[in-house]
Structure 1
């Protein structure tokens, strides 16, 4: 259905009508209804139809601007749905164009595509426009051709690759083009393809969809398919030309790019369905390995939103998909032998299923190839449970896959010699099992020869079954294979075997503590071995969460776009870290927000970090007794700009305080306006000479001559001695306005923080404040500041400080700097050589 002059059915807002004015020979006129040509006219109309048909779009209706479609499964439902739609149109006084409406049809044109029960077909008019097009002669003709192809790109397999010759002809920007033989062949091939354009299938709700990926030298492509009754029907073709830097991506990164492009283009399909990516490349490992580059981390997190699984690519069955797959394998993984081409398909043996009513033999095989030698091990179990162990050492060199095949062939020959009729084979080699079962193609000449020999031996059995098992379940055959490969046959020897009844060292018995599953367990199991919950919703949620994590040396880490890797902790471990940071040796009894940020900056993470920090602060006795109780609303800060670190300092005095060791009862405090770095020194007397000595020792000799110093109007600062000192060093001395401490508010705020920290640390021993002052300063320097988003230490030195509360030792939680070398610099810290 089509609205009758849809834009003109929306009234203009009266104050805006005059902005649509136009002049004629009869006067000045303006529109009372929305005309065509206004900048936001299309968006306004789309918002209108989205609002009036809200609740029905995507259910019984689809609406795009003035094109409306009512869909139903049965004729009875269709009448009811039309009644609902007409009622809405009547309520909003919208009119339809009867010449462009069709009712009760099983197929029709919508948004330029033919929609029917069969699926989605290309518009015949658009196909005819390409087929009847004459050979392009100018740049404009080629642009017209590529534009027509772009309108049908969802129907064209590898559309970008098919148009590469046309893109080459457009280079140079000249009006006249050079039409080469390559262009002519591509043009004819495109016409032939469009003459039999594929029918795109429509997926069923909740159906698992499959995605094939393709990488060529100039483009990445994909095809989304569904598999009803073992057929392969295309749903959508995607293609994108590689631009500049993308052309230099490694092949596996280009394959990952193809997946990301597909996810962005096919987002509605990816969000509504589970997606299985069919590829023989280690794409999952590439997106999850810890040392990946920034763009791969971004892609992995972006793809984590969807329910994506990576499975081996099977043999293709549909012709439309076969045309796509035949060009899939990148050049880096093409077969080495020219004699074996893509025409070799997996061997179909036609073996019968096992008959469990008759005796079945069981065979476990494994191969081993290393620097010491090559060998194979097999364990043949008879129907009555007797095991026959066999180890072979090869006098020739083999690869791991060839050793696996040799083990399989030796086991089959042994079973055949013992008149076995039915055999069940177990191997931990995914390649061997899938090649025998015809799921993988044998492209290498050596593998193809081994596969043919294996099938010849398998035909001698009435029935067989081959299955891949984890390496842990194949340990017996694996041990025999390793033994055979390690034996030096030039040395004759016998190895006696003694069975020890008990350990040589007797230790006291202890009950092992078994920790229950934590929040990390599902994520760790999924990342390490792909374990998922049975519930589909939970499985999809887990895949989405796991994209933000990675496993390094059996330890789970959280990763982000710009943050370093954060080690994941349990709630119990996190509570220990919070206590140490909050009230440990260098604890500053900071608030919950600052406390949680400190934990984050130290490289740790657990989901309830902020809630646990808030709970700890609320339960801290000293925080509750000495915490601030606001009586008046906070005033907005007045920022004072500092051009560079340590250029501008604020200076002030605090005291008198309880007299401490050395008769000290005052303190001079200085703060840098840029980094928020704090310096302080206890004083027995507050004189200009003491202030001069403090500035020279703690500021000038450590951080350089400052540009300016801001103080109050105390006589220690506004003295001839201190003024002469500043003039001699060319330091600009500024004074805050009298009775207006906000002029030097930074140092006033630091004074308040220093006093608060000393109160919380000293409790009743007030006279010990000079000894505790360095700890208070350290706490301030390593605390997060909201004004900068960093700690003063990191602002001053470019990295975080190593605090004493960071656990170390074999049985404790390692600090991120201590294992930065193991992560290969992923935590953005330099390598430090042990000395």
Structure 2
């Protein structure tokens, strides 16, 4: 070793590396690599020297320009020796053999300065001098991929970051004061950002405050607080790579390189129109806005990951991959790695991106990546993080304990029986835990220390080998204990050695703990395959268990229930099952028999694991939480009235029948004035209507309270809380409890409510006390639409359960007065013509409702109705007239522009649809147009039934003011679209969109979500839609065949008892009512006598007193009122009371004219 004094030059001996014997005796020019001697401190220089080394040794002069002595150890690489070519002498040599030409020295100094950034890159420890020379040449060739100065920033052209707002109200947050002693540093950073074109001065309506973040070295970093802005941004999730799948790609690699972009976010521009939203203000410098993507913006991680996917497209997961701004390149051979790096560098240059040399590590045998150490041997935990766990102080509060467990959980797959060690600690993280320090006992302290010890003795997990070698095979070992399941994924690799790949364990749910041991063992096998599906799917593997009955169970061909479903799940895998004794099954059999952490808490820990996957970023969750925070009650409605009037006035009519259009335009001017007069009142009315639609009168507290008050449900909940497996009924048990206890095994307490699993759905057990409130919400509410028994029952049974539910729903609907007043009785069904079955939106059935006698305040007199023949998805558009131009314009703008053009339209023979203009429209679009036979509306029965439905719903919902009927149409559409169609067996919404629509009550009864992320939804959506279409097609075929076979049968009317109260058709309109939505059965009459099977004598009865003429009424116009205590209008409710008995002597009745209503 040699020590070079400070500010001195020293001649030191050198020797050539092995393999250079051929150059002995040849004049060689000795020069540095990149301008300096490659030591750790990069502070020594060497003058280029001409040396003839006969025996491979020589002397050069080293210069130390630092103020400290520097020690050079033996075998330090100081430069390269290149043979001097004839005629290529670039230096004049002095007597000491040193280059003395000033020009030559300046040339060398210039080159050294140009490539000085190379010395900041870590080139690994195993490269030979020749290999290092090749790497340096590669770096020089791709110098444009690196930031060579502090001001050298890249800027990509591939993507721009966009900010899409759901609330355009400007964000204005007051500016925060900056401490005086930090003002200078803030100004310096602002100047630096201005010099780099990262920000620019602006005048914006938006303003977010600056936040000062201190660094470890005492300096600061300034960032903007975008939390309020992010809460108003539409969140667009972009999939980030799965860490386990990422590590699996590194198998077989020998050389690793990690590349880090120089402030990667700042190399992505923001869309010019959106820059003003990122503005921030300072008290002394004014206002600035970002020109590039700033840290903390919502959707920024997704934008950057999308950029990297574009840059690495085609080579991703072949020899390069990225996680946000962390890029890793991996290869098996040195030469391959050179080529792979060249490809990555060129792609970065083409994209306009630059790397930070100091953060790049090339040709490493192992490196730190995503919180792990990856290398040739496999993957292991990061010692720095494990050291942090080892030195973690004893937690003093729940928050500290959760942070500790979150870090441990990130590495849980390296630790056998992780759930066992962490169990006592997870018990203290439950909600509602108080007096944390008092509850921390010796047991918890021992578990805390044991967990720290296990985390520091983790195994090195091997990379899985994905090769065609027949001897390479995955091995899955599973086991179950009393309350926990575990699995170990291993692999018999190409050298014949079985190595662990990953571990998995979880606690059982309360219902799973009651399984018999064989079912628990099968559960472990199912969950193990599900967890490691990425490694196992598509290739045969070996599954091992220590429970021999599993082998017999899997051979069963008639397994039913949950066992049948599990065995069906396993059928997608190709595996051999093998039994081995428990003594040899220790890798999966180490599960303890004491209780493990609750599944809910374990789920929380997994969430923390996912957050830890991005160690350099803070995920802003406010954007997700605020997606639906804007309240409909604060929004104005129907703000497009003026647009509708203007568009109507601008129509150009080609048909002769519209020559009087100019007169209509003058009428429109009057409408404009009327619209301005009532607009303020209109907005108030609309807000009230929407508030009524979206309110949820039934609260969760009412539901839980009613369950606790119900004796039968309370008993079942007590048994569940006490974990009673086989409850014994008391002698005085009610009949309802006896029926409920049959479903005890399927019951579970979730979210403080007793639920039961039926038909694969989790349903709330409905207390009898509030069943009418639930029925009212799912039948009477505006979004339920007073639909019939089957549809209402389907709504209820999708969410609730209790014995006798069908009877209760039938009884409730039979006593519903709005339904009795508004709906017609059953009609005779005639055979109908059938249409061919086709694709969605291939054939549309169209009709018009109107004219409606009571014009709406928006001037609407008609409703254009459209129904898709396949999905039964309906539309209803209030319109001001029935002109062909209006209908065509509505179809083009509201259907064709959103759902695509149809191929076939079926209508009636109305003037609107047989006009020359409508026929020209169909011809222009190539649409086949068919019409019904005259005066036979049944030929267009699909849309006629919908017309009847929507009129019935609006009639049930409408109150005194009939001028707002068109505002009720959207709610009626929701009711129809979300109810199951009897023909298809699905809701129209599901058939069109592939998912069910949520109703307000679903905020209480949370239905399970089938997909956790966007990719899984996309992959399965097409398959699910095709399966549904096939089911619907078969169902439509059955319905068509049945209709063709059925004969017309008259339905037998129900008996009307003499003396009952009944509603009869009342065609008379009140002044404020419209004919289409008039309740035709509102008058109350007492049935006096039965004249025949179809004719009855009735008399009007008001408040128990009969008055008026006695009428003869046909049975079809008579609807009996059920005798029960139900909510009736005051007039009818009084009529239900017994008529008072009069003591006065009745006089003989005078002859009256008899009127027969037929």
**TM-score, normalization: structure 1?**
0.41
* Structure with the greater alpha carbon radius of gyration: 2
**TM-score, normalization: structure 2?**
0.31
